[in-house]
């Protein structure tokens, strides 16, 4: 079974190539906005919309009209892809609309009404600009063995220099040339690879994971080991630098050279935060998915929690990206990834005797069960309950006692293991 994956490389275009890419980005934005405008115009007049094939033919004729010569100065393939992206955006909106997942929102400043999920027009002030080339554009990728540089040849752009960090497994199907808000460029290739990969051998049969803000991840394994991953606090470590740049940007006049320089410095600071978050999320996901045959996760309402006073720390924790990456690697490595019900009270149940003790304030990190008297760590207790709820925990030891609930006691060594255990089912 073959799958598609992305391979990203840093690009270093020359000044002339940057000017050509800027013109290409402007043409792609125009094509996308033109497609949205034509569809909305047809909907208002006739109550229906054009298909992608009709819009593509209309745009080809539109490029030949007087005054549209600048659209002929760039490659036609990215323009057609922009129209295709607009068509996909509308199809996604209709899918959500039919499922009842859209609603009307009102702008309290202007009083205008708008339905959520409806495709929006693109702007040149957007931080991210991109253009997609397919095989029909006949782009070429060149790289010599042992060389740290590669070259991407694009029509009407030229030979763009790439920082070559790893080889492509096969010939790419598409390439996106992107310009980020901090002024850096990146080439993203879509490559089709075989499903058979070098899957790492699992070290544990299963693990339960509790996501938190005090500790980013509390992991309990079925063999008795457990560990906590500390919160990286990426935004907090860069807060002083960001405050300084925000003040500097507010003092400078819009449109001035100094304002533009400070804006670039601010964008680079945020880009550094984003890269550190992504690196941390990918490394954690690789560790969890690579070392465990089965993973139990909780279902989190991150969008709802982001409306609370914990929003800044919660979004800095990057929960969504970590969980999504674990699921992706689970499919890639052939692992079992189970998610328990959102309303399961993992923090309220004693993992020793099963008594539900009710809600507890967030500052209570260790609590004592009033029934069995066990001293429990809040995070490890929740991880054990998640592992149990997913049906991945151990069940009986050599004497018939329940040992899976003993993994959360606060006084135990983090590397302690249960002895004399046997498993009732195989997880492989």
Query: Active-site residue numbers?
Result: 210, 298, 379
Determine the Cα angle at 8 with ends 7 and 14, to 5°: 140
Nearest CA to 362 among 209, 236, 212, 233? 212
Rg (CA), the chain: 27
As given in the structure block, the two tokens for residue 386 are 């998640």
């Amino acid at each position: 079974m073959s799958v598609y994956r992305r391979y990203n490389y840093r690009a270093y275009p020359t000044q002339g190539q940057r000017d050509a890419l800027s013109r290409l980005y402007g043409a792609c934005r125009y094509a996308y906005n033109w497609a949205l405008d034509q569809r909305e115009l047809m909907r208002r007049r006739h109550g229906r919309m054009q298909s992608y094939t009709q819009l593509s033919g209309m745009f080809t004729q539109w490029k030949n009209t007087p005054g549209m010569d600048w659209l002929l100065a760039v490659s036609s393939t990215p323009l057609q892809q922009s129209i295709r992206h607009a068509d996909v955006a509308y199809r996604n909106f209709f899918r959500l609309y039919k499922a009842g997942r859209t609603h009307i929102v009102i702008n309290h400043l202007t009083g205008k009404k708008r339905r959520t999920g409806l495709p929006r027009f693109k702007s040149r002030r957007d931080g991210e600009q991109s253009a997609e080339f397919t095989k029909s554009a006949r782009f070429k990728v060149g790289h010599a063995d042992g060389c740290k540089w590669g070259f991407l040849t694009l029509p009407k752009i030229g030979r763009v220099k790439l920082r070559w960090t790893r080889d492509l497994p096969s010939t790419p199907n598409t390439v996106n040339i992107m310009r980020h808000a901090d002024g850096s460029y990146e080439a993203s290739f879509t490559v089709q690879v075989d499903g058979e990969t070098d899957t790492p051998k699992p070290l544990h049969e299963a693990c339960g994971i509790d996501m938190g803000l005090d500790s980013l991840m509390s992991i309990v394994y079925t063999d008795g080991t457990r560990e906590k991953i500390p919160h990286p606090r990426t935004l907090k470590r860069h807060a002083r630098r960001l405050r300084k740049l925000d003040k500097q940007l507010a003092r400078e006049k819009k449109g001035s050279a100094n304002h533009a320089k400070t804006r670039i410095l601010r964008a680079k600071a945020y880009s550094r935060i984003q890269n550190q978050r992504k690196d941390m999320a990918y490394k954690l996901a690789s560790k969890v998915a690579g070392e465990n045959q089965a993973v139990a996760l909780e279902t989190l309402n991150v969008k709802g929690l982001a409306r609370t006073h914990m929003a800044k720390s919660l979004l800095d924790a990057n929960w969504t990206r970590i969980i999504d990456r674990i699921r992706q690697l689970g499919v890639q490595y052939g692992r079992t990834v189970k998610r328990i019900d959102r309303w399961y009270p993992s923090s309220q149940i004693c993992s020793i005797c099963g008594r539900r003790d009710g809600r507890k304030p967030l500052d209570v990190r260790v609590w004592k069960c009033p029934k069995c008297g066990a001293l429990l760590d809040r995070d490890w207790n929740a991880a054990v309950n998640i592992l149990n709820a997913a049906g991945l925990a151990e069940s009986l030891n050599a004497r018939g006692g329940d040992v899976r609930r003993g993994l959360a006691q606060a006084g135990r060594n983090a590397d302690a293991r249960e002895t004399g255990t046997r498993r009732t089912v195989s997880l492989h």
